[in-house]
Structure 1
Amino acid sequence: MEPVAIVGWALTPMVRRTDKSEARLLFDVVTGATEDAGITRADVDFSCAGSCDYVAGQAFSFVQNIDAVGAWPPKRDSHVEMDGAWALYEAWVRLQLGDLDVAIAMGSGRSSTADPATIYPMEMDPYYLAPLGADAVSLAALQARVLLDAGLVTERDMAGVAARTRADAVGNPYAQVSGEYDVDALLKEDYVRAPLRKHDLSPITDGAAAVIIARGDKARELSDNPVWITGFAHSAEPHQPGVRDLRASTSTARAAKAAGADGHFDVAELQAAFTHEEPLLTAALGLGPDVAVNPSGGPLAANPVMATGLVRVIEAARQIRDRGKQRTLAHATSGPCLQQNLVCVLEGTK
């Protein structure tokens, strides 16, 4: 496997609503990431963006976003209708061919432009799920109920996740929601979709992220402390939640095994957009109590759909480059009830 490392990144502020277009959001993070890596747009050999036409509200919305990367000199470009973490995966695979040295991966989303509960059912199975109006929160509530009934989690456990992660987010300048919360007070709140309360849900967020990666010697040339990608894999399950065992995330476990994720990490950044997902993912990844989970606050602090997974990679890389950790894990997910999952293992220079 060709050694590839993260050498720069950038995030936008994570906000409830922005007046900036996705192209402008991406312009800011592409500029920030290239500056962080000490390069210019002309040094980028390949670019890949992750976004969603449903969220953007128009067909081929990614075409206008290419303006953020720069049209000259001409370069190889791609797009995935997925979170930016999958754009990073494609960029990483492209560098494995060995003929290019530097790539950029991006993710962007403006969920504030419409009602997510109306948008997301449009992406569901058109015969069985879409007519039901099966939005992400309703499907997550079904999975949470399954976990509660199986005795794998309690509502107090879920409130504890919300309180812990948002308290951790106080020190994160990119967090949208943070603060000190009392678990008992949270449990007195009304349900949004039983058994989920407001604190169990991630916020609606506008934002973008970008990551610069480079091969071997180029990475060492650009950074004194490159963050090496030592394992990378993703796996999917059936789209229909009714044919899956929602008590476990088998695709997460498969991706972790393929990526060489053995559970021994300093920090794990997980795309747990609902409180019940954190213990489920922790079990699937084999993470012990000594692993710090989502010290950034995670998606419960900011959830820029189509960039949330890439943000997890950035936060995991930050722990190594800026905070002295040696080995971290980033997780991303897509689809209803953790249908498709990606695992990225990161290590510092030894």
Structure 2
Amino acid sequence: MDKVAIIGVGQTRYERGNTKSFAELVYEVTRKALDDAGLELDDIDNVVTTTNDFYDGRTIACMAVAEASGSYGRDATNVEGDGTLSAFYGLMRTLSGVYDATIVTTHCKMSEGNPRKLFNQAFDPIYDRILGMDAISSSALQARAYMDRYGVTEEQCAMVSVKNHANARNNPYAHVALEITIDDVMKSPMLAEPIKRLDISPISDGACAIILATEERARKSAKKPVWVRGVAHCTDA
């Protein structure tokens, strides 16, 4: 299989209440990714944007960030939902052999809405929405099922939060970088059993971008490329 590499990245600091517009955030990370890769926009021949109509508060939300991502005069497409899915799609488009360099952008301003109500609207209106389901409660059901099936304890789950916060202390862009213990996680307020306050991510605003390139293009990069070794995705739908 042909190889694809990440040759540039850009991101904002993640925080609550960022006053910049969607387009401003995306333009910032697009420029950072290009600078990081030592490229100009003319070197990009494919653009993948990511939007979430629920959070952005508009339909076809990609229209607000397309030009900020450099899509004018280029092949561009949008993925609705999660930036990870856009990265997968950008990888596939680069592997197609049609494009040499793909920029993938994603953004979110969670603080401008009510995440619990927004997630609830994404559930089935007949069976699930009336139950008040949201991201936390549905994740709690999955977490409990997983723990029961594989014998995982809440303390073991808390280790993930402790590890993630420790990693965040080395990341200048991180929203929350707490020095916590397993006991701290276990004593934090219960949100939806077994998920506690310190198990979940904060409500954050921010954006990020990556540039994916074919092997031939990546080897011409001024920076050492990061090769994509493999990807996988599944959904319990």
**TM-score of the two chains, using structure 2 as the length reference:** 0.92
1:127 to partner: Cα distance: 1.6
Return 103-112 or 87-96, whichever deviates more: 87-96
Report the equivalent of 2:60: 60
**1:168 equivalenced with 2:204 (yes/no):** no
CA displacement at 1:31 relative to structure 2: 0.2
Q: Which amino acid aligns with 1:115?
A: N
Superposed CA deviations along residues 64-114 of structure 1, whole A, max 9, x for unmatched, are 101212354x11000010212222222222222323211101111111111
Q: Cα 1:3–1:196, aligned 2, differ >3 Å: closer, same or farther? A: closer
Tell me the amino acid that sits aligned with residue 114 of structure 1: G
- Displacement of 1:151 in angstroms is 6.1
What's 2:16 paired with? 16
Q: Deviations over 1:312-335 (max 9, x none)?
A: xxxxxxxxxxxxxxxxxxxxxxxx
Specify the SS of the correspondent of 1:235.
Answer: coil
Q: Please list, as runs of the form range in 1=range in 2, the aligned pairs for 1:257-296 lying within 5 A after superposition.
A: none
Q: Which residue in the other structure is 1:6 paired with? A: 6
Match of 2:34 in 1: 34
Identity score, percent: 34
Structure 2 equivalent of residue 209 of structure 1: 208
Query: Match for residue 179 of structure 2?
Result: 180
SS in 1 for 2:103: strand
Deviations along 1:275-297, one digit per CA (max 9) or x if unpaired, are: xxxxxxxxxxxxxxxxxxxxxxx
Q: What residue is the counterpart of 2:98 in the other structure?
A: 99
Task: Check the 8 A contact 1:41/1:69 in 2, yes or no.
Answer: no
Q: Is the 8 A contact 2:161 2:185 kept in 1?
A: no
* Aligned: 1:119 with 2:118: yes
Report the AA paired with residue 139 of structure 2: A
Deviation at 1:148, TM superposition (A): 4.2
Q: What is the identity, as a one-letter code, of the residue corresponding to 2:63? A: V
Distance in structure 1 (CA, Å) of the matches to 2:131 and 2:223: 53
Contact 2:37 2:223 in 1 (8 A): no
Q: What is the correspondence of 1:143-158 to structure 2 with a 5 Å cutoff?
A: 143-150=142-149, 152-158=151-157
Quote how far apart the aligned CAs of 1:232 are. Answer: 3.1
CA distance in structure 2 between the aligned counterparts of 1:204 and 1:34, rounded to whole angstroms: 28
| Cα distance, 1:157 vs structure 2 | 1.9
Question: What RMSD, in angstroms, separates the aligned Cα atoms of the two structures?
Answer: 1.8
Give unmatched runs, 5+ long, in structure 1: 239-350
Q: 1:10 to 1:150 in 2, by over 3 A?
A: same
What's the secondary structure of 2:220's corresponding residue? Answer: helix
